[in-house]
């Protein structure tokens, strides 16, 4: 019943799909979900080699790699899907949409820990986006195409860019809250801040000399 529900959900959300039967036979994203359910069943009973073998068959046939350890909610729509990678400890909620070339990846090499993203319900992740590390993507969030997300995304927000910044909250456009000074990890921003500080010092000195004349 879950697979039928998934097929109907994809057909309803994809304007190119004419019916659920077309989704069942022709959609690689839907086929990847079937493979994952089978692989996940073996993974849960500790037959991890068989689980990985099935997931690798899925990768070769669909271009979509979902680790059998990943937790996938109901009605996931992987649109087109080629190049999608979902890591071992990733969690994807219900009614999410993931476009091609998306990575839900990990950071570091520590085993037996949460190292992949947790994605809430009703989340849309645009093509080519990379969501890295044990970050949390809140419910109803949208991630713009090509974004790199390395920090938590609040619910009901839209983020975009490298690194991703909030541009909308509840559909209303907002000014990014991160100032240049806060971008301490950006070497270009740091250099600009140093140049700005030098310019401010020169301006202050010139103003002082002008007063003393």
Residue tagged 């700005």 (tokens)? 196
> Which entry of 36, 67, 82, 109 is annotated as an active-site residue?
109
Question: The tokens of 209 are what?
Answer: 């000399």
Q: Show Cβ contacts of residue 28 under 8 Å, excluding neighbours closer than 6 positions.
A: 61, 62, 63, 64, 78, 80, 81, 82
Helix (H), strand (E), coil (C) string for 5-42: HHHHHHHHHCCCCCCHHHHHHHCHHHHHHHHHHHHHHH
Question: Could you tell me if 117 and 132 are in contact, meaning their C-beta atoms sit under 8 angstroms apart?
Answer: yes
Is 36 an annotated catalytic residue?
no
Question: The tokens of 4 are what?
Answer: 């039928």
Rounded CA gap, 163 and 129, in Å? 11
Residue tagged 């970050």 (tokens)? 135
Indicate which residues carry an active-site annotation. 109
């Amino acid at each position: 019943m879950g697979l039928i529900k998934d097929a109907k959900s994809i057909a309803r959300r994809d304007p190119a799909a004419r019916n659920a039967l077309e989704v069942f036979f022709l959609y690689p994203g839907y086929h990847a979900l079937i493979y994952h359910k089978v692989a996940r069943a073996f993974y849960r009973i500790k037959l991890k080699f068989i689980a990985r073998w099935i997931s690798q068959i899925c990768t070769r046939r669909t271009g979509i790699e979902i680790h059998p350890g990943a937790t996938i909610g109901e009605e996931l729509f992987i649109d087109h899907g080629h190049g999608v990678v979902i890591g071992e400890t990733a969690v994807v909620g219900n009614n999410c949409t993931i476009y091609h070339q998306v990575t839900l990846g990990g950071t570091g090499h520590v085993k037996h820990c949460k190292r992949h993203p947790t994605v809430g319900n009703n989340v849309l992740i645009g093509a080519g986006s990379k969501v890295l590390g044990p970050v949390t993507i809140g419910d109803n969030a949208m991630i713009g195409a090509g974004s790199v997300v390395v920090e938590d995304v609040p619910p009901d927000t839209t983020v975009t860019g490298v690194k991703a910044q909030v541009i909308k909250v509840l559909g209303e456009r907002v000014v990014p809250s991160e100032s240049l000074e806060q971008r301490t990890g950006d070497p270009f921003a740091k250099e600009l801040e140093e140049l700005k500080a030098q310019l401010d010092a020169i301006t202050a000195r010139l103003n002082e000399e002008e007063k003393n004349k």
